[in-house]
């Protein structure tokens, strides 16, 4: 586990600060970015409308001008007055001139053609007027009343109505005149020019029609472009908004995920670890290393605490053991013996079974001590203690040092013959055990023990003291009977 520790262990406080700062900066940047984009789009939209709308208005104005030119052409065609015709022609000319400045080659060239047509119409009309005047002058030479009538008719006729085949019948009388050919030629010329004018009028109007269609479709196209452009911009605004919102949402989700994994879960695991200390048993709690320094410090503290608790439990155990055990022999001491005897008596009382208590005393131990010294004495005590301990197999059986060279064995739930057998077996084993001195193997010491025991079904009137006393009395009898024997009390 420690090998998996990440090398970097940032501080939570610093990280929170940095993340907040990064988040704020990112937010500001994205807000700035989106705002910039939105502003750009808005500006572009404004630009398109500011550019295209005036163009639309301009196109509309041009259409108006075309209508005006059309009426000028009609006026020039229909008006019979040379001065008015000239005025209209001049005005239309200035109006058409304004088209020449348009940044549109088609419009400029069409305007130039229309201007040419208007001039042509005006000059044809002028030519017709001259011809008409000359024809009238030619008729002036005659005094014939019919001719005078015809002359009057001719001067009253507008030029546009002088057409071959449509002249009043009185014109037929002129064939007799000497200068008829000359007059007829002029009238026919006027008539021809009228036909030419009619064609020109049709042509020019068709041209105007073309220009106005062109302007109309141009205006429609521009309006459509405007609508499309603005539509595209709005779509882009929508896209950017969605993008921006997604970024914010994703960022929040990411932060939540990171928060959950680096803060929430670790804290939960720390709490769980802390709780686990109570039931940690005989091993310390180990927790996963954590990303943030503060949390990891807490983790370390919990592990340390767990270790401390573990060590304290161990020390307690040792202390407890120390208070129960006889330092020299490793058997239970007198205090623990009392405790267990009490418990076993209670147990025997509850279950109504028999309990045996053996008192074992080393014979002539004082002399042994005097002869070989305390160290040998102590050694002998240890050997005998080991032998007695060997007879504690079942639960509840306990070997204890009663004091001095006296030992006690508690054997619960046991039959009477078995107690005899065990007591005899202990006495036998002790008497057959040779104890060698540590520094001199040639000398071996033979020891014997005297054993007194009680075996009885315990009842409420009995107490441990009485039981011990009874066993002690049996031991005394054994001593009195010459030692190295077993007596029952």
Partner 1 sequence: MRKIKGKVFFLLMLLFVSVSLVAAPLRVAIEGNYPPFSYVDDSGQVVGFDIDITHALCAAMNVECEMILVEWSEILEGLVAGDYQLIIASMGKTPEREKLADFSDYYYRAHSVFVGDPKQHSKKHYDDLKQLRIATGKDTLQSQYLLANYPEENVYLLNSHDEAMDALIKGDVDLVLSNSISQLHFLQSPEGENFDFISEPLVNDLLVDYAHIAIRKGHPELLLAVNEGLKKIRFNGQYDQINRKYIPFSIY
Residues of this chain that bind partner 1 (CB under 8 A) = 61, 64-65, 68, 83, 86-87, 90-91, 93-95, 97-98, 100-101, 112
Query: Smallest distance from the beta carbon of 112 to partner 1, in angstroms?
Result: 7
Element (H, E) at 444: strand 444-446
Contact criterion met (CB below 8 Å) for 1 and 286: yes
Which residue, 88 or 407, is less far from partner 1 as judged by CB?
88
Phi, psi (degrees; rounded to nearest 5) at 285: -80, 130
Contact criterion met (CB below 8 Å) for 406 and 388: no
Which residue, 98 or 173, is less far from partner 1 as judged by CB?
98
Which residue, 83 or 393, is less far from partner 1 as judged by CB?
83
Q: Which residue matches tokens 């670890």?
A: 273
Pairing of strands 398-403, 406-412: antiparallel
Contact criterion met (CB below 8 Å) for 264 and 291: no
Adjacent-strand bridge partners of 435: 445
Which residue, 92 or 306, is less far from partner 1 as judged by CB?
92
User: CA distances (Å), 315 to each of 309, 312, 330, in order?
Assistant: 10, 5, 18
Contact criterion met (CB below 8 Å) for 428 and 444: no
Query: Smallest distance from the beta carbon of 47 to partner 1, in angstroms?
Result: 13
Query: Smallest distance from the beta carbon of 52 to partner 1, in angstroms?
Result: 18
Contact criterion met (CB below 8 Å) for 360 and 449: yes
To the nearest 10 degrees (0 to 180), the angle between helices 374-389 and 416-432 is 140
Q: How many CB atoms lie within 10 A of CB 266?
A: 22
Which residue, 115 or 458, is less far from partner 1 as judged by CB?
115
Which residue, 98 or 321, is less far from partner 1 as judged by CB?
98
Q: How many CB atoms lie within 10 A of CB 60?
A: 13
Which residue, 30 or 93, is less far from partner 1 as judged by CB?
93
Query: Smallest distance from the beta carbon of 294 to partner 1, in angstroms?
Result: 49
Which residue, 68 or 262, is less far from partner 1 as judged by CB?
68
Residue 200, helix vs strand vs coil: helix
To the nearest 10 degrees (0 to 180), the angle between helices 180-259 and 12-78 is 170
Query: Smallest distance from the beta carbon of 4 to partner 1, in angstroms?
Result: 59
Q: How many CB atoms lie within 10 A of CB 99?
A: 21
The structure tokens listed for 25 are 């900066």
Query: Smallest distance from the beta carbon of 87 to partner 1, in angstroms?
Result: 5
Which residue, 54 or 404, is less far from partner 1 as judged by CB?
54
Q: Which residue matches tokens 């066993």?
A: 471
Adjacent-strand bridge partners of 455: 356
Measured between alpha carbons, how far is 300 from 282 in angstroms, rounded to an integer? 19
Measured between alpha carbons, how far is 7 from 368 in angstroms, rounded to an integer? 70
Max CA separation in the chain (angstroms): 209
Contact criterion met (CB below 8 Å) for 455 and 356: yes
Which residue, 46 or 137, is less far from partner 1 as judged by CB?
46
- Encode burial over 119-156: b for 16+ CB neighbours within 10 A, e otherwise: eebbebbeebbebbeebbebbeebeeeebeebbeebee
Q: Enter the DSSP assignment of 274.
A: H
Which residue, 96 or 345, is less far from partner 1 as judged by CB?
96
Query: Smallest distance from the beta carbon of 94 to partner 1, in angstroms?
Result: 5
Which residue, 55 or 91, is less far from partner 1 as judged by CB?
91
């Amino acid at each position: 586990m420690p090998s998996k520790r990440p090398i970097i262990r940032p501080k939570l406080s610093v990280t929170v600060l940095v993340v907040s700062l990064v988040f704020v900066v990112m937010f500001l940047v994205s807000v700035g970015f989106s705002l910039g984009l939105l502003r750009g789009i808005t500006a572009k939209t404004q630009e398109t409308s500011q550019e295209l709308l005036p163009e639309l208005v301009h196109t509309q104005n041009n259409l108006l001008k075309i209508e005006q030119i059309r009426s000028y052409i009609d006026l020039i065609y229909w008006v019979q007055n040379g001065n008015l015709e000239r005025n209209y022609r001049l005005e239309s000319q200035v109006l058409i001139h304004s088209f020449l400045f348009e940044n549109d080659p088609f419009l400029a060239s069409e305007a130039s053609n229309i201007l040419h047509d208007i001039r042509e119409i005006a000059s044809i009309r002028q030519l017709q007027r001259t011809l008409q005047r000359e024809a009238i002058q030619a008729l002036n030479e005659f005094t014939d009343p019919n001719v005078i009538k015809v002359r009057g008719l001719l001067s009253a006729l507008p030029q546009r109505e002088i057409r071959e085949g449509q002249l009043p019948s009185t014109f037929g009388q002129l064939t007799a005149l000497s200068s008829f050919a000359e007059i007829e030629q002029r009238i026919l010329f006027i008539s021809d020019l009228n036909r030419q004018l009619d064609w020109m009028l049709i042509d020019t109007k068709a041209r105007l029609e073309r220009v106005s269609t062109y302007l109309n479709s141009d205006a429609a196209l521009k309006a459509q472009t405007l609508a499309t452009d603005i539509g595209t911009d709005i779509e882009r605004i929508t896209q950017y908004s969605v993008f921006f919102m997604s970024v914010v949402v994703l960022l929040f989700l990411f932060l939540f995920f990171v928060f959950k994994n680096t803060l929430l879960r670790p804290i939960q695991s720390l709490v769980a670890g802390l709780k686990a200390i109570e039931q940690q048993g005989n091993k310390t709690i180990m927790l996963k290393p954590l990303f943030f320094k503060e949390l990891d410090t807490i983790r370390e503290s919990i592990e340390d605490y767990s270790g401390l608790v573990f060590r304290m439990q161990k020390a307690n155990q040792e202390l407890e053991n120390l208070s129960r055990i006889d330092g020299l022999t490793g058997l239970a001491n007198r205090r623990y013996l009392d405790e267990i005897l009490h418990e076993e008596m209670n147990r025997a009382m509850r279950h109504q079974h028999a309990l045996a208590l053996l008192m074992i005393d080393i014979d002539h131990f004082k002399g042994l001590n005097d002869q070989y010294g305390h160290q040998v004495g102590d050694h002998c005590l240890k050997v005998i203690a080991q032998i007695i301990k060997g007879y504690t197999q079942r639960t509840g059986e306990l070997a204890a040092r009663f004091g001095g060279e006296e030992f006690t064995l508690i054997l619960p739930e046991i039959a009477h013959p078995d107690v005899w057998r065990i007591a005899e077996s202990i006495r036998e084993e002790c008497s057959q055990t040779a104890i060698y001195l540590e520094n001199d193997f040639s000398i071996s010491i033979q020891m014997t023990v005297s054993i007194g025991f009680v075996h009885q079904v315990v009842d409420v009137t009995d107490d441990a003291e009485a039981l011990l006393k009874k066993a002690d009395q049996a031991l005394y009898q054994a001593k009195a009977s010459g030692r190295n024997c077993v007596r029952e009390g």
